[in-house]
Structure 1
Amino acid sequence: MIFNRKFGAPGLQRKKLAIISTYNENCGNASYTHVLKVAFSEIFDVDVIPLDLFLLQKPQPFINIHADAHIKSICAKLKNYDYVNIQFEAGLYGATAGAILRRMKWLIDAAPNLILTMHRVDVAETTSLIEAIGKSVRALRAGPLFHHFRNKEFSVLYHNIVLHCKEQSARKNVWIKVHAKREHRVIRDVFRFKNVIHYPLAFLNKEEQKKVKALPKADLAARFGLPQGSKLFGVFGYISNYKGIETAIKTVAQLPTDWHLVIAGSQHPQSIKAYKDVDPYLESILNLIANEDAERERKLAKLARVNHYLEKTEVVDERLTKPITDRIKFIGSLDDDDFVHVLRDIDAVVLPYIEVGQSMSGVIVLAMEAGGRVLGANNLSFAETRKYFGDTFERFDIGNHIELAQRLQAEPLEVEAARTAIFETYNIRNSVALQAQVFEGTYKNV
């Protein structure tokens, strides 16, 4: 076990740590940073230096001047700290790859002793330009071509950031932390930078896990205005196109009518555009719900015509009698505490994510820590999650709404004992203890 430090022992001089991240914002990074601050505070004196997203995420040149000044002001503060942790999600530091790289180089140069936490690392785009053009022509839209150039641009960005860390490591202590063994291999074996550690996302310590699990279970059906005795499965977080919400919606029609889908989240702030009446992805979700209901009504009308023609009454599938719209509940964003409790109390947490190169999902880890039933799609991200947590969550193939419905109705896996054993190793205290070893130069890199 990594966690063997005597936290808060008297007589020990505490070092100062700065965490650079979003803070007090409605985003997963800010929530994770709050958890880190609390955990690191058992070892160090910790300050969070918040990023000004209003400035940093604007592409206009006249605002970029102020955004650069904001980053330089953070750089000036770092000389007052022994250790620096940068929480890196590309979109938090700029609207273009060039601006992001420029600002990251300033921060890396200014940090006296650094762990750069990269929540995502992409390798170069393997699809050729010709293939991307072909996909766009076949799809009659520019999306594949746009994604080709954007993915290639950001793959180069990640590589350049790692290379800059490697250059700076020749004169000071610079490390990169990732949340998956796949990303660890990319940085160590592909980008050839040896100062890299991997550790899964972690949010709750053992005491917090016990506290959450000990609370009385809430009646979520009553809370969300659904019929008594309803069974609920939910998708969580920002409503984004990689979340596979379409699969969850199609699953509703396959389930008995006492099952309801809860969508806990809202559109991403960066998707809010002036004079845009509805986000395109959200609109596609609403259209899918309407189409599912139209298909249900078509089947119901066809059955009625057949019954009339045969002059008899057939038993109607009850799933055709209740509108899909009535079985889907949008509940909006939840605060951190409420989020954890809903993950625990809902009948099933569903993550039907498509594969987009995501490193590790915070939702899947937090749901397991809280003791919830979890079903995740067979994407590469959750394959990486299994390398740490084993078979402690259920799986189904990407997009297979029939399989998902079948698994929801089956008996849940018995995973509590296995999770308890795994969380002895992978928890927030051990995560920060490992990073403390890296900061203090006592970590043995193998």
Structure 2
Amino acid sequence: MKLAIISSYKRDCGIAQYVEHLEGPLRELLGGNLSIAPLPVDLLRASGPMAHGMAKKALAESLAIIADAEVVVVEFEPGLFGRSQRQIWATLRSILDAGKRVVLTYHTAPTLPPPTPTSIRSLISLARHSYAQTVFRRLLRMVRRNQNKFAHIVQTRREKTRLTLLGVDPERIFDMPLSYFTRAEKAEFGHERYRRKLDDVYGTGGRKVLGVFGFLGGIKGTKVALRALDHLPSDHHILIVGGLHPETVVQASSEQPPIKDLTKLLEPTFDASERDGADDQRAALLQRVHFAGAVDNRTFAELMAGCDAILLPYEEVGQTSSGPASQALDLQRPIYCTRTGAFRELGKYAGDALSFFEIGNYLELAQKISREDAMLPARAQARARYSDTVTVEARALMYVNAAKSTQKS
């Protein structure tokens, strides 16, 4: 069976990182009958006739790869396919038309509308939600007209239920959390080895290192982690791994909003109107924060393996999964995460492996870190069970089974 994947690839993107980890095990299962059709994300999201022409040419090359395959896998995150709903659908429609059979992996899934509007603000929110669901409505209409052509991969049972209620054949929906590492790789990432390496680079020997992984920005809740650190003993340090998301970078400016938000918490202001000692407190806090910046896939995993615990203080944005959470579970690291929909759903697979706190409640986070809630024996046992069953090999096999299901009439 010749299979092609169209996705962001070899770029600074969580989905690209996931596909790069999936590629090896999938090639082994398919005997080399796997092609990657890179999605020209930067060109699709650019504006102007020159960018449009370049995007059209680059996409045509990927469509040729898709047309040659028996099954195409679409790693679907709408924002990667264009800027507007119209453009996203046009790109996606060209891919679906070119593919003989299609497996859709939903990194974002259809979401429920907000409550019935009772104000102008809530009415605007409802209108925005309706617009944002345009592509999903069109996609699902296409799927319902020709169920045999499609199979669907989701990361949670909730998404499987919702797709079923929206008219998708449940026999063609496959659910499993994301995974990044093979069993052999998991065995190789020992905590002690990589902790020594981390300490050598960042000078954190004898400290408790809490890792914050992913793009810098509001939805990742990095500020919440820093506020929690301010309420923890001085031997607790935070390692921030990740850079700016390419789509958030302000052009021709060194004033980047996510960076500015962090420096406000860490950099002394010498503002006379502030309470006494505030600048000294910021300076002391900065000594306990270490920026690793954007790193490659291997270094990302090594740093995560070396941390004592992983902090995921995300906001609720309707995402169905988290790459850093999945990697942390793969590596059996203790995890503190917000009680968002995605993490609650992940907990249905991971049992007691996750330690939850409320969105934005840095005091609760600090208290749970202080009492080492994520290190409880029951959580360690749950992480071991999860890591043994959810692997990238299992994900690769699920892709193959999903592709085979499209052969059934």
Please give the TM-score of this superposition, normalised by the length of structure 2. Answer: 0.89
1:73-84 equivalent positions in 2, closer than 5 A: 73-84=61-72
Counting matched residue pairs gives 402
Contact persistence 1:114–1:174 (CA under 8 A): yes
Change (3 A) 1:384 1:134: closer
Change (3 A) 1:165 1:74: farther
Q: Does 1:418 align with 2:382?
A: yes
Match in the other structure for 1:164: 142
Q: Does 1:181 align with 2:157?
A: yes
Change (3 A) 1:232 1:55: same
CA distance in 2, matches of 1:250, 1:220: 27
Task: Quote the RMSD (CA, aligned, Å).
Answer: 2.9
Q: Does 1:397 align with 2:358?
A: yes
State the secondary structure of the residue aligned to 1:123: coil
Match in the other structure for 2:249: 272
Amino acid at match of 1:399: G
State the secondary structure of the residue aligned to 2:4: strand
Contact persistence 1:88–1:119 (CA under 8 A): yes
Match in the other structure for 1:343: 304
CA distance in 2, matches of 1:173, 1:116: 11
Amino acid at match of 1:205: T
CA distance in 1, matches of 2:207, 2:191: 23
State the secondary structure of the residue aligned to 2:385: helix
CA distance in 1, matches of 2:270, 2:120: 35
Q: Does 1:328 align with 2:289?
A: yes
Please give the TM-score of this superposition, normalised by the length of structure 1. Answer: 0.82
Change (3 A) 1:267 1:404: same
Match in the other structure for 2:391: 427
Which of the two has higher C-alpha Rg? 1
State the secondary structure of the residue aligned to 1:219: helix
1:422 shift after superposition:
2.8
Contact persistence 1:341–1:370 (CA under 8 A): no
Contact persistence 2:267–2:283 (CA under 8 A): no
Contact persistence 2:81–2:88 (CA under 8 A): yes
Match in the other structure for 1:133: 121
CA distance in 1, matches of 2:204, 2:186: 30
Match in the other structure for 2:107: 119
Tell me whether 433-442 or 379-388 shows the greater mean CA deviation: 433-442
CA distance in 1, matches of 2:255, 2:39: 28
Match in the other structure for 1:6: none
1:320 shift after superposition:
5.1
1:223-242 equivalent positions in 2, closer than 5 A: 223-226=200-203, 228-242=205-219
Match in the other structure for 1:139: none
Contact persistence 1:83–1:112 (CA under 8 A): yes
Q: Does 1:371 align with 2:332?
A: yes
CA distance in 2, matches of 1:332, 1:379: 26
CA distance in 1, matches of 2:53, 2:240: 39
Contact persistence 1:205–1:428 (CA under 8 A): yes
Tell me whether 356-365 or 319-328 shows the greater mean CA deviation: 319-328
Ranked by relative contact order (alpha carbons within 8 Å, sequence separation 6 or more), the top structure is: 2
CA distance in 1, matches of 2:94, 2:314: 35
Q: Does 1:201 align with 2:165?
A: no
1:365 shift after superposition:
1.2
1:250 shift after superposition:
0.7
Contact persistence 2:198–2:306 (CA under 8 A): no
Amino acid at match of 2:349: Y
Contact persistence 1:39–1:429 (CA under 8 A): yes
The one-character-per-residue Cα deviations of 1:366-413 (angstroms, maximum 9, x if unpaired) are 111112121111111110001111111222121111121122122312
State the secondary structure of the residue aligned to 1:398: coil
Tell me whether 286-295 or 258-267 shows the greater mean CA deviation: 286-295
CA distance in 2, matches of 1:120, 1:186: 12
Match in the other structure for 1:58: 46
Change (3 A) 1:70 1:385: same
Contact persistence 2:44–2:82 (CA under 8 A): yes
CA distance in 2, matches of 1:329, 1:92: 31
Change (3 A) 1:435 1:285: same
Identity %: 25
Contact persistence 2:37–2:65 (CA under 8 A): no
1:444 shift after superposition:
9.8
Amino acid at match of 1:375: Y
1:284-295 equivalent positions in 2, closer than 5 A: 284-290=261-267
State the secondary structure of the residue aligned to 2:227: helix
Contact persistence 1:292–1:324 (CA under 8 A): no
1:125 shift after superposition:
3.1
Contact persistence 1:82–1:112 (CA under 8 A): yes
| Structure 1 unaligned residues grouped into runs of 5+ | 1-14, 136-144, 302-318
State the secondary structure of the residue aligned to 2:319: coil
Tell me whether 192-201 or 381-390 shows the greater mean CA deviation: 192-201
1:134 shift after superposition:
6.8
Contact persistence 1:88–1:118 (CA under 8 A): yes
The one-character-per-residue Cα deviations of 1:26-47 (angstroms, maximum 9, x if unpaired) are 2211111112211111221211
State the secondary structure of the residue aligned to 1:218: helix
CA distance in 1, matches of 2:122, 2:21: 45
CA distance in 2, matches of 1:272, 1:231: 32
Match in the other structure for 1:218: 195
State the secondary structure of the residue aligned to 2:294: coil
1:418 shift after superposition:
2.6
Contact persistence 2:229–2:237 (CA under 8 A): yes
| Structure 2 unaligned residues grouped into runs of 5+ | none
Change (3 A) 1:280 1:398: same
